Amino acid sequence: MGGKSYKMDKIKNLTVVFPGQASQYVGMGKEFIESVPECADIIREGEKITALPLLDKIMNGPLEELTRTLICQPAVFGVSMVCWHILKKNGFTPSAVAGHSLGEYSALVASGVLTLSEGFYIVKKRAHIMDEISGKVDGSLMAVLGMKLPDVEDVLKEFPDIEVSNHNSDSQIVVGGKKEALEKLNLYLKQKRIKGIMLNVSGPFHTSLMKKAGELISVELDKLDFKDPKIPLYLNYSGEEAVDGKEVKEGLIKQISTTVKWLDIIKNIGEGVFVEVGPKKVLKRIIEGILPESKVFNVEDNRSLTDFVENLK
């Protein structure tokens, strides 16, 4: 299938989205890495820059090791870049890109804001900083299902130490804070017969408890050369299209300690064709719920790639 071009007027609005942490699994990207030399080169480039055994952990696990923040973030980023290479190799050019949390860094490389090497560098630094700060605050995240944002915000008036971390959809909102406060909220939700799911994450990501992490990553971001996006890029902190490289950089600092506005991103992009590029189908399912009239695909292996291409013919 390599090399075939597709006219964008036939595909219409093709948006590529990239997943974040928690999409990892042992063997992700395996088919592409083993069969396409450039894909293996991407992971080797990541190993050279991060000094981490990414290929071994991606291919062989164990999952407990692959799930560690310090390994997970560069590994998911690397596999997303592998899948992005395959998409480009098949002639696809998106009209917009976005990524969820960690996935925003994949979107930066796809849109030409950062190089692949810069992406691996800053993702490793981000993982280290987030892991360090998380270890000091004893916090976590919880998904609240079946409630809209205003209703969740009303509940949180009784729990002032808890904040909205991810506004993923009208029925999936993630909140974060200290573990003790989240346990009290979870008990309250059970009494109201509202479903809350404690997430297996190491910290209260995208809340004000991570503000110090934003200050630390700002120092690392200053070392990079932020270009203006060549492809329209939508940002987590605002939910809107980035104006230039300077705003992208400022957005990454804010992203660590403020709400990921995923619902706003998808609504602002609007109906069209979406493809999640990277491991699993987490974003695919969310987008299908937000824009049911859109066609939503994923590309993570040969089967999903074939499905994507065949459905667009």
Would you call 165 a catalytic residue per the annotation?
A: no
Sign of CA dihedral 121, 127, 129, 132: negative
* Catalytic one of 101, 165, 169, 202: 101
Measured N-to-C along each axis, helices 69-89 and 37-50 cross at an angle, to the nearest 10 degrees, of: 150
Q: What are the structure tokens assigned to 195, written together? A: 């479903």
Give the whole-angstrom CA distance, residue 302 versus residue 209: 41
* Catalytic one of 111, 165, 206, 257: 206
- Interior angle at CA 233, CA 237 and CA 38, nearest 5: 120
Give the strand pairing for 172-178 and 163-169. Answer: antiparallel
Which has the closest alpha carbon to 96: 303, 279, 278, 267?
A: 267
Identify whether the C-beta of residue 141 lies closer than 8 Å to the C-beta of residue 185.
Answer: no
Would you call 206 a catalytic residue per the annotation?
A: yes
Q: What are the structure tokens assigned to 100, written together? A: 């969820």
- Interior angle at CA 203, CA 197 and CA 209, nearest 5: 115
Residues labelled as active-site residues? 101, 206
